[in-house]
Amino acid sequence: MLMMIRGSNIALVIFLLVCGMINIQTCLSQITRGSFPKGFVFGTASSAFQYEGAVKEDGRGPTVWDTFSHTFGKVFDFSNADVAVDQYHRYNEDVQLMKDMGMDAYRFSIAWSRIFPNGSGEINQAGVDHYNNLINALLAKGIEPYVTLYHWDLPQALEDKYNGWLNPQIIEDFAKYAETCFQKFGDRVKHWITFNEPHTFATQGYDVGLQAPGRCTILLHLFCRAGNSAIEPYIVAHNVLLSHAKVAQIYREKYKSKQHGSIGISLDVIWFEPVTNSTEDIAAAQRAQDFQLGWFLEPLIFGDYPSSMRSRVGSRLPAFSKSEAALIKGSLDFVGINYYTTFYAKNNSTNLVGVLLNDSIADSGAITLPFKDGKAIGGKAYSVWLYIVPHGIRSLMNYIKQKYRNPLVIITENGMDDGNSPFTPIKDALKDEKRIKYHNDHLMSLLASIKEDGCNVKGYFVWSLLDNWEWAAGYSSRFGLYFVDYKDNLKRYPKDSVHWFKNFLTT
Protein backbone atom coordinates (compact mmCIF):
# COMPACT_ATOMS: atom_id res chain seq x y z
CA MET A 1 0.00 0.00 0.00
CA LEU A 2 2.76 2.44 0.92
CA MET A 3 4.49 1.86 -2.44
CA MET A 4 1.21 2.55 -4.19
CA ILE A 5 0.78 5.84 -2.33
CA ARG A 6 4.29 7.04 -3.10
CA GLY A 7 3.92 6.12 -6.74
CA SER A 8 0.86 8.11 -7.70
CA ASN A 9 -1.33 10.92 -6.41
CA ILE A 10 -4.25 9.29 -8.24
CA ALA A 11 -3.57 6.07 -6.39
CA LEU A 12 -3.59 8.02 -3.13
CA VAL A 13 -7.03 9.42 -3.89
CA ILE A 14 -8.33 5.92 -4.72
CA PHE A 15 -6.77 4.59 -1.53
CA LEU A 16 -8.52 7.24 0.58
CA LEU A 17 -11.84 6.51 -1.11
CA VAL A 18 -11.45 2.77 -0.47
CA CYS A 19 -10.70 3.43 3.17
CA GLY A 20 -14.02 5.25 3.39
CA MET A 21 -15.28 5.14 6.93
CA ILE A 22 -12.24 3.24 8.20
CA ASN A 23 -9.69 5.20 10.18
CA ILE A 24 -6.75 6.04 7.88
CA GLN A 25 -4.17 4.79 10.36
CA THR A 26 -6.02 1.50 10.48
CA CYS A 27 -5.80 1.27 6.71
CA LEU A 28 -2.08 2.00 6.77
CA SER A 29 -1.41 -0.70 9.35
CA GLN A 30 -3.85 -3.27 7.98
CA ILE A 31 -2.63 -6.85 7.83
CA THR A 32 -4.19 -9.90 6.20
CA ARG A 33 -4.55 -13.61 6.71
CA GLY A 34 -1.43 -14.03 4.59
CA SER A 35 0.60 -12.14 7.20
CA PHE A 36 0.11 -15.04 9.63
CA PRO A 37 1.84 -18.42 9.54
CA LYS A 38 0.34 -21.11 7.34
CA GLY A 39 -2.37 -23.04 9.16
CA PHE A 40 -3.22 -20.22 11.59
CA VAL A 41 -6.94 -20.54 12.38
CA PHE A 42 -9.43 -17.67 12.34
CA GLY A 43 -12.90 -18.09 13.76
CA THR A 44 -15.74 -16.64 15.79
CA ALA A 45 -16.94 -17.69 19.22
CA SER A 46 -20.22 -18.14 21.07
CA SER A 47 -21.83 -20.01 23.95
CA ALA A 48 -24.98 -22.09 24.16
CA PHE A 49 -26.77 -20.06 26.82
CA GLN A 50 -26.07 -16.73 25.12
CA TYR A 51 -27.08 -17.91 21.65
CA GLU A 52 -29.44 -20.85 21.51
CA GLY A 53 -32.66 -19.85 23.24
CA ALA A 54 -35.24 -22.65 23.03
CA VAL A 55 -34.72 -23.24 26.74
CA LYS A 56 -37.80 -25.44 27.13
CA GLU A 57 -37.62 -27.30 23.84
CA ASP A 58 -36.63 -30.85 22.95
CA GLY A 59 -36.06 -32.04 26.50
CA ARG A 60 -33.51 -29.44 27.62
CA GLY A 61 -33.31 -29.19 31.42
CA PRO A 62 -33.06 -25.89 33.33
CA THR A 63 -29.68 -24.46 34.28
CA VAL A 64 -28.40 -22.22 37.07
CA TRP A 65 -28.39 -19.34 34.59
CA ASP A 66 -32.08 -19.89 33.78
CA THR A 67 -32.76 -19.56 37.49
CA PHE A 68 -30.43 -16.60 37.98
CA SER A 69 -31.66 -14.63 34.97
CA HIS A 70 -35.27 -15.05 36.09
CA THR A 71 -34.45 -13.69 39.55
CA PHE A 72 -35.43 -10.04 39.90
CA GLY A 73 -32.54 -7.58 39.88
CA LYS A 74 -29.83 -9.97 38.70
CA VAL A 75 -29.71 -8.77 35.06
CA PHE A 76 -29.08 -5.12 34.20
CA ASP A 77 -31.94 -4.71 31.72
CA PHE A 78 -34.25 -7.24 33.41
CA SER A 79 -34.03 -9.55 30.38
CA ASN A 80 -33.44 -13.29 30.16
CA ALA A 81 -32.04 -15.70 27.57
CA ASP A 82 -35.17 -17.71 26.92
CA VAL A 83 -34.92 -16.77 23.24
CA ALA A 84 -31.43 -15.24 23.12
CA VAL A 85 -30.60 -14.95 19.39
CA ASP A 86 -32.42 -18.20 18.55
CA GLN A 87 -29.44 -20.01 17.07
CA TYR A 88 -31.06 -23.30 18.07
CA HIS A 89 -33.42 -22.80 15.13
CA ARG A 90 -31.28 -20.54 12.92
CA TYR A 91 -27.93 -22.33 12.95
CA ASN A 92 -27.95 -22.95 9.20
CA GLU A 93 -28.35 -19.23 8.56
CA ASP A 94 -25.56 -18.40 11.00
CA VAL A 95 -23.21 -21.03 9.57
CA GLN A 96 -23.69 -19.38 6.17
CA LEU A 97 -22.74 -16.02 7.68
CA MET A 98 -19.45 -17.53 8.85
CA LYS A 99 -18.88 -19.06 5.43
CA ASP A 100 -19.56 -15.74 3.73
CA MET A 101 -16.87 -14.08 5.86
CA GLY A 102 -14.32 -16.79 5.12
CA MET A 103 -13.94 -17.96 8.72
CA ASP A 104 -12.10 -21.25 9.27
CA ALA A 105 -13.69 -22.32 12.53
CA TYR A 106 -16.55 -21.83 14.96
CA ARG A 107 -16.20 -22.13 18.70
CA PHE A 108 -19.50 -23.00 20.37
CA SER A 109 -20.50 -24.73 23.57
CA ILE A 110 -22.69 -27.74 24.20
CA ALA A 111 -25.41 -27.25 26.78
CA TRP A 112 -24.90 -29.98 29.37
CA SER A 113 -28.64 -29.94 30.15
CA ARG A 114 -29.51 -30.71 26.53
CA ILE A 115 -27.50 -33.93 26.73
CA PHE A 116 -28.42 -34.79 30.34
CA PRO A 117 -31.44 -32.70 31.40
CA ASN A 118 -30.84 -33.64 35.05
CA GLY A 119 -27.04 -33.47 34.81
CA SER A 120 -26.79 -37.28 34.86
CA GLY A 121 -28.98 -40.29 34.14
CA GLU A 122 -30.56 -40.89 30.74
CA ILE A 123 -29.24 -39.26 27.59
CA ASN A 124 -31.62 -36.87 25.81
CA GLN A 125 -31.40 -37.95 22.17
CA ALA A 126 -32.99 -34.75 20.88
CA GLY A 127 -30.06 -32.80 22.31
CA VAL A 128 -27.56 -35.14 20.70
CA ASP A 129 -29.41 -34.78 17.39
CA HIS A 130 -29.22 -30.99 17.54
CA TYR A 131 -25.46 -30.87 18.01
CA ASN A 132 -24.95 -33.53 15.37
CA ASN A 133 -26.90 -31.33 12.97
CA LEU A 134 -24.90 -28.22 13.90
CA ILE A 135 -21.54 -30.00 13.58
CA ASN A 136 -22.52 -31.49 10.23
CA ALA A 137 -23.72 -28.10 8.96
CA LEU A 138 -20.38 -26.54 9.90
CA LEU A 139 -18.31 -29.26 8.27
CA ALA A 140 -20.43 -29.10 5.11
CA LYS A 141 -19.35 -25.46 4.75
CA GLY A 142 -15.70 -26.21 5.52
CA ILE A 143 -15.85 -24.74 9.03
CA GLU A 144 -14.03 -26.59 11.81
CA PRO A 145 -15.94 -27.03 15.11
CA TYR A 146 -14.15 -26.07 18.33
CA VAL A 147 -16.38 -27.34 21.12
CA THR A 148 -16.53 -26.05 24.69
CA LEU A 149 -18.00 -28.59 27.08
CA TYR A 150 -18.83 -26.17 29.88
CA HIS A 151 -19.62 -22.49 29.40
CA TRP A 152 -21.19 -21.69 32.80
CA ASP A 153 -24.61 -23.33 32.29
CA LEU A 154 -24.62 -25.95 35.05
CA PRO A 155 -27.76 -28.11 35.11
CA GLN A 156 -29.94 -26.78 37.91
CA ALA A 157 -30.62 -30.34 39.03
CA LEU A 158 -27.00 -30.74 40.14
CA GLU A 159 -27.05 -27.43 41.98
CA ASP A 160 -30.17 -28.58 43.81
CA LYS A 161 -28.86 -32.08 44.43
CA TYR A 162 -25.45 -31.35 45.92
CA ASN A 163 -24.51 -27.66 45.38
CA GLY A 164 -22.88 -28.28 42.02
CA TRP A 165 -19.22 -27.27 41.79
CA LEU A 166 -18.88 -27.17 45.58
CA ASN A 167 -19.20 -30.95 45.78
CA PRO A 168 -16.55 -33.39 44.45
CA GLN A 169 -19.39 -35.58 43.15
CA ILE A 170 -19.51 -33.22 40.19
CA ILE A 171 -16.16 -34.56 38.95
CA GLU A 172 -17.77 -37.91 38.13
CA ASP A 173 -20.90 -36.37 36.62
CA PHE A 174 -18.91 -33.96 34.43
CA ALA A 175 -16.66 -36.81 33.29
CA LYS A 176 -19.70 -38.88 32.27
CA TYR A 177 -21.15 -35.94 30.34
CA ALA A 178 -17.82 -35.20 28.63
CA GLU A 179 -17.26 -38.83 27.65
CA THR A 180 -20.75 -38.96 26.18
CA CYS A 181 -19.81 -35.98 24.00
CA PHE A 182 -16.60 -37.71 22.90
CA GLN A 183 -18.64 -40.79 21.97
CA LYS A 184 -21.35 -38.91 20.10
CA PHE A 185 -19.35 -36.16 18.38
CA GLY A 186 -15.65 -37.02 18.60
CA ASP A 187 -15.50 -38.63 15.16
CA ARG A 188 -15.92 -35.09 13.75
CA VAL A 189 -14.85 -32.75 16.58
CA LYS A 190 -11.07 -32.52 16.81
CA HIS A 191 -10.73 -29.58 19.22
CA TRP A 192 -12.21 -29.81 22.72
CA ILE A 193 -12.24 -27.11 25.40
CA THR A 194 -13.26 -28.45 28.80
CA PHE A 195 -14.09 -25.16 30.55
CA ASN A 196 -14.60 -21.55 29.64
CA GLU A 197 -13.23 -19.00 32.10
CA PRO A 198 -13.30 -20.98 35.35
CA HIS A 199 -11.73 -17.98 37.11
CA THR A 200 -14.75 -15.87 36.16
CA PHE A 201 -17.44 -18.24 37.34
CA ALA A 202 -15.51 -19.14 40.50
CA THR A 203 -15.15 -15.49 41.56
CA GLN A 204 -18.29 -13.95 40.08
CA GLY A 205 -20.51 -16.88 41.02
CA TYR A 206 -19.09 -17.79 44.44
CA ASP A 207 -17.19 -14.72 45.72
CA VAL A 208 -19.06 -11.54 44.74
CA GLY A 209 -22.33 -13.24 43.77
CA LEU A 210 -22.88 -11.27 40.56
CA GLN A 211 -23.25 -14.34 38.35
CA ALA A 212 -24.96 -17.69 38.71
CA PRO A 213 -25.44 -19.34 41.11
CA GLY A 214 -25.09 -16.04 42.98
CA ARG A 215 -23.32 -17.14 46.16
CA CYS A 216 -21.26 -14.92 48.45
CA THR A 217 -20.70 -14.09 52.11
CA ILE A 218 -24.21 -13.12 53.14
CA LEU A 219 -23.21 -10.77 55.98
CA LEU A 220 -21.55 -8.39 53.52
CA HIS A 221 -23.77 -8.97 50.48
CA LEU A 222 -27.39 -9.08 51.52
CA PHE A 223 -28.51 -10.02 48.00
CA CYS A 224 -26.83 -13.44 48.35
CA ARG A 225 -28.88 -16.10 50.09
CA ALA A 226 -25.90 -18.29 50.92
CA GLY A 227 -22.17 -18.62 50.49
CA ASN A 228 -18.70 -18.09 51.91
CA SER A 229 -16.50 -15.82 49.80
CA ALA A 230 -13.34 -16.77 51.66
CA ILE A 231 -13.56 -20.49 50.88
CA GLU A 232 -16.02 -21.38 48.12
CA PRO A 233 -14.16 -19.90 45.10
CA TYR A 234 -11.15 -22.06 45.93
CA ILE A 235 -13.25 -25.21 46.32
CA VAL A 236 -14.98 -24.57 42.99
CA ALA A 237 -11.68 -23.97 41.18
CA HIS A 238 -10.19 -27.11 42.72
CA ASN A 239 -13.09 -29.28 41.55
CA VAL A 240 -12.92 -27.71 38.09
CA LEU A 241 -9.22 -28.53 37.76
CA LEU A 242 -9.77 -32.11 38.92
CA SER A 243 -12.68 -32.41 36.48
CA HIS A 244 -10.57 -31.12 33.60
CA ALA A 245 -7.75 -33.53 34.44
CA LYS A 246 -10.06 -36.53 34.66
CA VAL A 247 -11.72 -35.71 31.35
CA ALA A 248 -8.34 -35.20 29.67
CA GLN A 249 -7.22 -38.59 30.99
CA ILE A 250 -10.37 -40.27 29.64
CA TYR A 251 -9.91 -38.66 26.24
CA ARG A 252 -6.24 -39.56 25.96
CA GLU A 253 -6.66 -43.13 27.14
CA LYS A 254 -9.84 -44.07 25.25
CA TYR A 255 -10.44 -41.72 22.31
CA LYS A 256 -7.39 -39.77 21.17
CA SER A 257 -5.75 -42.64 19.27
CA LYS A 258 -8.90 -43.15 17.21
CA GLN A 259 -10.28 -39.63 16.98
CA HIS A 260 -6.94 -37.77 16.74
CA GLY A 261 -8.21 -34.68 18.53
CA SER A 262 -6.79 -32.30 21.13
CA ILE A 263 -8.03 -31.03 24.48
CA GLY A 264 -7.52 -27.72 26.24
CA ILE A 265 -9.12 -25.11 28.46
CA SER A 266 -10.03 -21.42 27.96
CA LEU A 267 -8.81 -18.99 30.63
CA ASP A 268 -9.80 -15.34 31.03
CA VAL A 269 -6.79 -13.07 31.43
CA ILE A 270 -6.54 -9.36 32.08
CA TRP A 271 -2.92 -8.33 31.56
CA PHE A 272 -1.60 -6.39 34.58
CA GLU A 273 1.04 -3.68 34.38
CA PRO A 274 2.59 -2.32 37.60
CA VAL A 275 1.35 1.21 38.20
CA THR A 276 4.92 2.26 39.11
CA ASN A 277 8.36 0.71 38.80
CA SER A 278 8.56 0.18 42.55
CA THR A 279 9.42 -3.27 43.83
CA GLU A 280 6.11 -3.39 45.71
CA ASP A 281 3.98 -2.65 42.65
CA ILE A 282 5.90 -5.03 40.41
CA ALA A 283 5.35 -7.78 42.98
CA ALA A 284 1.67 -6.82 43.22
CA ALA A 285 1.23 -7.17 39.45
CA GLN A 286 2.76 -10.63 39.64
CA ARG A 287 0.45 -11.63 42.51
CA ALA A 288 -2.56 -10.33 40.60
CA GLN A 289 -1.59 -12.57 37.71
CA ASP A 290 -0.98 -15.52 40.04
CA PHE A 291 -4.50 -15.17 41.45
CA GLN A 292 -5.98 -15.06 37.94
CA LEU A 293 -4.09 -16.96 35.22
CA GLY A 294 -1.69 -18.77 37.56
CA TRP A 295 -4.53 -20.10 39.70
CA PHE A 296 -5.47 -22.44 36.84
CA LEU A 297 -2.52 -22.63 34.46
CA GLU A 298 0.15 -23.25 37.10
CA PRO A 299 -1.40 -26.57 38.23
CA LEU A 300 -1.98 -27.61 34.61
CA ILE A 301 1.66 -26.97 33.69
CA PHE A 302 3.54 -27.60 36.95
CA GLY A 303 1.13 -29.60 39.12
CA ASP A 304 0.40 -27.11 41.92
CA TYR A 305 -0.96 -23.66 42.71
CA PRO A 306 1.35 -20.61 42.63
CA SER A 307 3.47 -20.22 45.75
CA SER A 308 1.97 -16.77 46.37
CA MET A 309 -1.48 -18.35 46.62
CA ARG A 310 -0.23 -21.05 48.97
CA SER A 311 1.37 -18.50 51.31
CA ARG A 312 -1.44 -15.94 51.26
CA VAL A 313 -4.51 -18.21 51.29
CA GLY A 314 -3.10 -20.86 53.60
CA SER A 315 -5.41 -23.65 54.70
CA ARG A 316 -8.34 -22.19 52.77
CA LEU A 317 -6.65 -23.29 49.55
CA PRO A 318 -7.26 -26.99 48.89
CA ALA A 319 -4.25 -29.26 48.37
CA PHE A 320 -3.65 -31.77 45.58
CA SER A 321 -2.61 -35.28 46.54
CA LYS A 322 0.44 -36.67 44.76
CA SER A 323 -1.73 -38.67 42.40
CA GLU A 324 -3.97 -35.68 41.68
CA ALA A 325 -0.98 -33.45 41.00
CA ALA A 326 0.40 -36.04 38.59
CA LEU A 327 -2.97 -36.29 36.85
CA ILE A 328 -3.36 -32.52 36.46
CA LYS A 329 0.20 -31.72 35.39
CA GLY A 330 0.41 -31.66 31.60
CA SER A 331 -3.29 -32.44 31.13
CA LEU A 332 -3.77 -30.15 28.13
CA ASP A 333 -2.70 -29.96 24.50
CA PHE A 334 -3.31 -26.22 24.16
CA VAL A 335 -4.14 -23.19 26.29
CA GLY A 336 -7.13 -21.08 25.26
CA ILE A 337 -6.76 -17.43 26.22
CA ASN A 338 -9.66 -14.97 26.38
CA TYR A 339 -8.05 -11.53 26.28
CA TYR A 340 -9.95 -8.26 26.20
CA THR A 341 -8.13 -5.63 28.23
CA THR A 342 -5.21 -4.54 30.44
CA PHE A 343 -5.26 -2.94 33.92
CA TYR A 344 -2.72 -1.37 36.23
CA ALA A 345 -1.82 -3.14 39.47
CA LYS A 346 -0.54 -1.62 42.69
CA ASN A 347 0.33 -2.99 46.08
CA ASN A 348 -2.50 -2.88 48.62
CA SER A 349 -0.37 -1.52 51.43
CA THR A 350 -3.18 -1.05 53.96
CA ASN A 351 -5.00 -4.30 53.09
CA LEU A 352 -8.15 -2.65 54.43
CA VAL A 353 -10.19 -4.25 51.66
CA GLY A 354 -8.76 -7.65 52.54
CA VAL A 355 -9.66 -7.26 56.18
CA LEU A 356 -13.22 -6.27 55.31
CA LEU A 357 -13.88 -8.82 52.59
CA ASN A 358 -11.59 -11.78 53.35
CA ASP A 359 -12.19 -13.21 49.88
CA SER A 360 -10.31 -14.51 46.86
CA ILE A 361 -10.12 -11.12 45.18
CA ALA A 362 -8.64 -9.36 48.20
CA ASP A 363 -6.31 -12.28 48.98
CA SER A 364 -3.90 -11.21 46.23
CA GLY A 365 -2.98 -8.03 48.08
CA ALA A 366 -3.16 -6.14 44.79
CA ILE A 367 -5.44 -3.32 43.71
CA THR A 368 -6.18 -3.49 39.98
CA LEU A 369 -7.71 -0.54 38.11
CA PRO A 370 -7.66 0.82 34.54
CA PHE A 371 -6.52 4.27 35.70
CA LYS A 372 -3.25 5.91 36.67
CA ASP A 373 -3.16 9.48 37.96
CA GLY A 374 -6.72 9.90 36.79
CA LYS A 375 -5.91 8.90 33.21
CA ALA A 376 -7.39 5.79 31.58
CA ILE A 377 -5.02 3.09 30.36
CA GLY A 378 -6.65 3.13 26.92
CA GLY A 379 -9.74 3.98 24.90
CA LYS A 380 -13.09 2.82 26.21
CA ALA A 381 -15.52 0.25 24.87
CA TYR A 382 -19.05 0.10 26.31
CA SER A 383 -18.52 -2.32 29.19
CA VAL A 384 -17.33 -0.63 32.35
CA TRP A 385 -14.28 -2.92 32.53
CA LEU A 386 -13.25 -2.94 28.86
CA TYR A 387 -10.45 -0.52 27.99
CA ILE A 388 -8.71 -0.95 24.66
CA VAL A 389 -5.03 -1.84 25.12
CA PRO A 390 -3.76 -3.79 22.08
CA HIS A 391 -0.15 -4.06 23.27
CA GLY A 392 -1.36 -6.05 26.27
CA ILE A 393 -1.99 -9.15 24.18
CA ARG A 394 1.65 -9.19 23.09
CA SER A 395 2.88 -8.74 26.65
CA LEU A 396 0.61 -11.56 27.78
CA MET A 397 1.79 -13.94 25.06
CA ASN A 398 5.40 -13.30 26.03
CA TYR A 399 4.61 -13.83 29.71
CA ILE A 400 3.02 -17.21 28.93
CA LYS A 401 5.95 -18.14 26.71
CA GLN A 402 8.53 -17.33 29.36
CA LYS A 403 6.75 -18.57 32.47
CA TYR A 404 4.95 -21.62 31.11
CA ARG A 405 7.44 -23.06 28.58
CA ASN A 406 5.83 -21.63 25.45
CA PRO A 407 2.75 -23.88 25.25
CA LEU A 408 0.48 -23.92 22.21
CA VAL A 409 -1.92 -20.98 22.64
CA ILE A 410 -5.20 -20.24 20.88
CA ILE A 411 -6.86 -16.87 21.43
CA THR A 412 -10.33 -18.26 22.09
CA GLU A 413 -11.94 -14.84 22.62
CA ASN A 414 -11.06 -11.25 21.75
CA GLY A 415 -13.44 -8.40 21.05
CA MET A 416 -15.15 -5.22 22.20
CA ASP A 417 -18.70 -4.02 22.65
CA ASP A 418 -20.89 -1.06 21.82
CA GLY A 419 -23.92 -0.01 23.81
CA ASN A 420 -27.40 -1.00 22.71
CA SER A 421 -29.10 2.36 22.46
CA PRO A 422 -32.74 2.34 21.30
CA PHE A 423 -32.11 5.76 19.76
CA THR A 424 -29.33 4.65 17.40
CA PRO A 425 -30.59 3.87 13.86
CA ILE A 426 -29.46 0.51 12.54
CA LYS A 427 -27.56 2.14 9.68
CA ASP A 428 -25.44 3.99 12.23
CA ALA A 429 -24.98 0.96 14.49
CA LEU A 430 -23.47 -0.90 11.54
CA LYS A 431 -20.65 1.63 11.28
CA ASP A 432 -18.32 0.07 13.83
CA GLU A 433 -14.99 1.70 13.00
CA LYS A 434 -13.83 1.30 16.60
CA ARG A 435 -14.31 -2.48 16.41
CA ILE A 436 -12.38 -2.67 13.15
CA LYS A 437 -9.50 -0.77 14.67
CA TYR A 438 -9.69 -2.92 17.82
CA HIS A 439 -9.24 -6.16 15.89
CA ASN A 440 -6.69 -4.74 13.47
CA ASP A 441 -4.51 -3.43 16.29
CA HIS A 442 -4.80 -6.58 18.40
CA LEU A 443 -3.95 -8.75 15.42
CA MET A 444 -0.94 -6.56 14.68
CA SER A 445 0.24 -6.96 18.26
CA LEU A 446 -0.45 -10.70 18.23
CA LEU A 447 1.43 -11.11 14.97
CA ALA A 448 4.46 -9.36 16.46
CA SER A 449 4.41 -11.79 19.38
CA ILE A 450 4.49 -14.69 16.92
CA LYS A 451 6.96 -13.48 14.32
CA GLU A 452 9.26 -11.29 16.40
CA ASP A 453 9.05 -12.97 19.81
CA GLY A 454 8.53 -16.62 18.89
CA CYS A 455 5.29 -17.11 20.82
CA ASN A 456 3.47 -20.34 19.94
CA VAL A 457 0.05 -18.95 18.96
CA LYS A 458 -2.03 -20.82 16.39
CA GLY A 459 -5.51 -19.29 16.34
CA TYR A 460 -7.73 -16.24 16.91
CA PHE A 461 -11.46 -16.32 17.65
CA VAL A 462 -13.54 -13.16 17.61
CA TRP A 463 -16.09 -12.60 20.34
CA SER A 464 -18.54 -12.65 18.85
CA LEU A 465 -20.25 -13.69 15.62
CA LEU A 466 -23.53 -12.02 16.61
CA ASP A 467 -24.76 -9.51 19.12
CA ASN A 468 -26.12 -11.69 21.91
CA TRP A 469 -27.34 -11.93 25.49
CA GLU A 470 -24.36 -10.85 27.60
CA TRP A 471 -24.97 -12.49 30.98
CA ALA A 472 -25.68 -9.93 33.71
CA ALA A 473 -25.54 -7.13 31.12
CA GLY A 474 -28.44 -8.71 29.24
CA TYR A 475 -29.03 -7.18 25.82
CA SER A 476 -27.48 -3.83 26.78
CA SER A 477 -24.10 -4.76 25.27
CA ARG A 478 -23.35 -5.54 21.60
CA PHE A 479 -20.15 -7.53 20.89
CA GLY A 480 -21.19 -8.92 17.51
CA LEU A 481 -19.74 -8.62 14.05
CA TYR A 482 -23.36 -8.95 12.95
CA PHE A 483 -26.02 -6.63 14.34
CA VAL A 484 -29.09 -8.46 15.67
CA ASP A 485 -32.33 -6.51 15.50
CA TYR A 486 -34.10 -7.48 18.71
CA LYS A 487 -37.16 -5.52 17.60
CA ASP A 488 -37.63 -7.25 14.24
CA ASN A 489 -37.52 -11.05 14.41
CA LEU A 490 -33.82 -11.13 15.33
CA LYS A 491 -32.71 -10.24 11.80
CA ARG A 492 -28.95 -10.28 11.28
CA TYR A 493 -27.22 -7.34 9.56
CA PRO A 494 -23.48 -7.22 8.74
CA LYS A 495 -21.60 -4.42 10.44
CA ASP A 496 -18.66 -2.80 8.68
CA SER A 497 -16.40 -5.14 10.66
CA VAL A 498 -17.87 -8.08 8.71
CA HIS A 499 -16.70 -6.52 5.46
CA TRP A 500 -13.31 -5.78 7.02
CA PHE A 501 -12.87 -9.38 8.13
CA LYS A 502 -14.03 -10.71 4.77
CA ASN A 503 -11.35 -8.62 3.08
CA PHE A 504 -8.80 -9.61 5.73
CA LEU A 505 -9.49 -13.32 5.33
CA THR A 506 -9.52 -13.40 1.53
CA THR A 507 -6.35 -11.36 0.94
The H or E element that residue 148 is part of is strand 144-150
Dihedral sign of CA atoms 415, 416, 422, 428 in order: negative
- Give start and end residues of each alpha helix (H) in 70-152: 87-101, 112-115, 125-140
Cis peptide before 213 (omega within 30 of 0): yes
CA 2/CA 259 separation, integer angstroms: 47
Dihedral sign of CA atoms 470, 429, 498, 504 in order: negative
Pairing mode, if any, of strands 191-196 and 366-369?
Answer: unpaired
CA 158/CA 167 separation, integer angstroms: 10
> Out of 52, 197, 273, 324, which one is annotated catalytic?
197
C-beta neighbour count of 83 within 10 angstroms: 16
Name beta bridge partners: 413: 338
Q: Is 413 a catalytic residue?
A: yes
> Out of 144, 159, 273, 413, which one is annotated catalytic?
413
Residue 401 corresponds to which amino acid? K
List the beta strands (DSSP E) in 249-401.
Answer: 262-274, 334-347, 366-369, 371-372, 375-376, 379-380, 387-388
Cβ neighbourhood burial of 76 (10 Å; 0-12, 13-18, 19+): middle
The answer to whether the beta carbons of residues 415 and 341 sit under 8 Å apart is no
Q: For the chain, how many residues are written?
A: 507
Cis peptide before 464 (omega within 30 of 0): yes
Torsion (CA) 84, 85, 87, 93 in degrees, nearest 10: 170
User: 437 vs 26, 71, 386, CA distance in Å?
Assistant: 6, 38, 15
Kindly report each contact of residues 495-498 with a partner whose C-beta sits within 8 Å and lies 24 or more positions away, as own/partner: 495/429, 495/430, 495/431, 495/432, 495/435, 496/21, 496/22, 496/430, 496/431, 496/432, 496/433, 496/435, 496/436, 497/432, 497/435, 497/436, 497/439, 498/101
Q: Is 197 a catalytic residue?
A: yes
Rounded to the nearest angstrom, the gap between the alpha carbon of residue 208 and the centroid of all alpha carbons in its chain is 19
Dihedral sign of CA atoms 124, 126, 130, 133 in order: positive
Task: Mention every residue, 6+ apart, whose C-beta is less than 8 A from residue 483.
Answer: 426, 429, 430, 467, 492, 493, 494, 495
User: 74 vs 56, 100, 210, 222, CA distance in Å?
Assistant: 21, 37, 7, 13
- Give start and end residues of each alpha helix (H) in 146-277: 156-162, 169-185, 198-206, 232-254, 256-259
The answer to whether the beta carbons of residues 110 and 153 sit under 8 Å apart is no
Catalytic residues, which ones? 197, 413
